Structure 1
Amino acid sequence: MTHFAAHAAPRWMTPLLHSIDDGSLHRTLDKALPPGIGPDPTKQSAVLMHLCGNPTTSTLPDDAAVLLTHRSPRMRKHSGQVAFPGGRVDATDRHHLDAALREAWEETGLQRNTITPIAQLGQVHIRVTGYPVTPILAYSEEPQEVHIASPAEVDDVFYFPLNELANPTNRLLVHRGQWRGPAFKVHDYLVWGFTAGVLHAVLQHAGWEIPWDRRTHYDLSEMIALSRNNEQH
């Protein structure tokens, strides 16, 4: 974990920063890979987890939100999925932070000088491929101007309220074969996989989670079909 400007984080983010410091957030996120899948350090990616909200409160403010994108159904990989802005670390990127900020600008038009990077989390390995993804936590007091900057990559860009994300009516567990994981209903999209796992862990470790139904499991394919994800692969 790398700190950038933790002093600039709002008070309501303090428990989240503690969970980053003590490693508990990373232990929740980076589970052991399935048999036959090994880490692949040659495929480095970074994502930007941009949170915004009133900096004066110690509890999660009503205006707190997270920046999300909907990947174009025409994309070759992860088509139709809801994701954080981000992507592959290029040879021209100086580091993971640089990659996350560049990708966010390319996809959403987010200007890097309008947000404050707070911390770099430890690598999280994608269970299907073993590829490592590095989440970058960033903050701004208010939502920034964003738009669909790369229609070939994303067809929706939006801030979603964290209080609505934590609302039990928007939460569910999904399964595919032996795999199961958390998911969220967001603007009629289904958020699942890596992005849902990160959001679930953040809500849990930041103390923003509200008790929700963890006993009922839904078939992932059926939930995707009922959503407007329009996933093609």
Structure 2
Amino acid sequence: MATRRRIGVAAIQKRQETANKFAAKGDQLAGEQLAQFSQQLDQLSAGLEMFAQRHRDEIKKNSQFRRYFQEMCASVGVDPLASSKGFWAKALGFGDFYYELGIQIVEICLSTTHINGGIMTVEEIRNRLMRTRSRTRKDTISTDDILRAVDKLKVLGNGFELVPLGGGRFLVQSVPGELSMDHSRVLQLAEDAAYVTKELIMDKLR
């Protein structure tokens, strides 16, 4: 009986040792894969830096090319706008570009608050920006540029928010407060119909 018990204990210990070896091997493989993945990310990041240096002027002047570059960066977890002192700010002037764009957006929103109550479509902001910048600049501003700049304005605190309208369209809210879903639907209705009445709201949104 004692012999059987010793054999049983030995078998359990052997299985435990085998399991421990498999676990250790698994940890080793996971560590190797993580190191390989980290190395690949470093290579991709270095490749992006070379790409940025080679196409610096095109990225700064061409809005579509700029968006393509931003998407490439996002795919490997690089945020060119995260630091105004990093490589990307020095190589591309991204910090200065979006800082200047953000200031212009703030000026446009504040100067029209008495007209629109602090709510504007991104398209209207873009049109005003292009009219202002065309006098001195040849570069184009895309909707994506405006969305990124407004997103960075959130650091100013409560006051600048993007309000989705659906279909990839947004409002920029530049006054404190939160728009409900009903508010957004009424604004969408007013923009689509070019006017809004109590009867129209009751008919369309009931």
Q: Is this a same-fold pair by TM over 0.5?
A: no
Instruction: Please identify the structure whose Cα radius of gyration is greater.
Output: 2
Task: With the length of structure 2 as denominator, give the TM-score of the two structures.
Answer: 0.20
Structure with greater contact order relative to length (CA < 8 Å, sep ≥ 6): 1
More strand by share: 1
What TM-score, normalized to structure 1? 0.18
